[in-house]
Structure 1
Amino acid sequence: MNYTISEENYLKTIFLLQETEGTVSTNTLAEKLQTKPASVTDMMKKLDAKKLLNYKPYYGFTLSAEGKKIALGIIRRHRLWEYFLCNKLNFGWEEVHLLAEELEHVGNKKLVDRLDAFLGFPSYDPHGDPIPDSKGRVRNIRKIPLHQLPALRPAEVCQVTNQSSEMLELLHHKQIGIGTKLEIKKFFDFDHSLEIKMKNSTITISEQLAQNIFVTYEQDL
């Protein structure tokens, strides 16, 4: 069955919200998609009729097994295209999200599988988000936000959760990216900022920035 771009956007967004919130509310989804709650309610009825949703008015909703399968396919395409654009066409990691938003709706399975093979079956996109495989399986690793890392513990950046162009530009300016090795030298009580040491530099970053950088411990590398 074919789905509209709008339906696919809803399914993907519900899946991502569901990962952190469980049951998704109409208002939360409306805010995320920057639309009216009434429009969300209309779409929920359509997706429910197609058996893609477990929906109860006033109680929120979750994806059905079929809805989750479709959402994972969309996310797989999006993250593979991000990887392709960044690693093969040399786009900056702050540029690829909007382009992948368009390309993710090209749902030809043979094309997506060949793209995956061409790229060497990558497990993570340029921002460290896991790429579902052809069966919808996702590889997860143990990780924590940087501000929770104990001082003087060697670690490696594995994911950036805030992927706005402003955030990625800031990280690029500070020479922090996926795979960057670092350790926290000092926590500052006044504003909870952190002094971190990397290979060739020592810099101070805000707590807000550190909350959006996830790392693996040295023992997990």
Structure 2
Amino acid sequence: MTRMRLLALADQEVDGLYSPNLLQHAPNVDCVLSAGDLPFGYLDYILTILNRPLYYVHGNHTQKRALHGSDELSEEIEGATNLHMRTVNYRGLLLAGLEGCRRYRNAEHQYSEAQMGRRAMHLALRLQRNRMRYGRALDILVTHAPPAGIHDGDDHAHRGFQAYLALMRWFRPRYLVHGHTHIHRHDQPRRTRYQDTTVLNAYGYQLITLDLPEPNPAAR
């Protein structure tokens, strides 16, 4: 078994991370997951100090800046990997992502249930290939919005997606890491079990430790 330690972030800057104490708050981290709506400077700092890969999805609040050495504006994070509708194998850790939230106005990274369902089906084809290649489809699904009925809100903008429930039933990831729903009370749940998946609200930050099976030498 291979043990990995992950730093998951979403929505809210944490003073202890945006400081010289970062390594004390997040020691021995193998990679960073961002579930969206965090400033460029904050993520740049964490990426630089930890010197570990950063995988992310966009939230519903977009920002853009000039790419290094160019006048072109981009919302991507330089030196990091956008997981939206992609699968990534990082040292045996199988990751995938879906960005955004429910459509509540005409803006980027907002989707109807039908639109997100189509994106989930597109991702499902890639996850099925993972299953055939690695013997399992997915370890962590990173989303901005939560699944329907789990950690979501009563207002339309903060309702979760049914499509995420289907992905968890079909592919049984160890974790679904999301943001979007802010935590304001101590009794507000962060972790909820749905079948074989732990749904984790990464608001602020959370640390995840998980053991991965050794790679299959026959997998190609």
TM-score normalised per structure 2: 0.25
TM-score normalised per structure 1: 0.25
**Greater share of residues in strand:** 2
- Compare relative contact order (CA 8 Å, sep 6+) and give the higher one, 1 or 2: 2
**Greater share of residues in helix:** 1
Decide which structure has the larger Cα Rg and report it.
Answer: 1
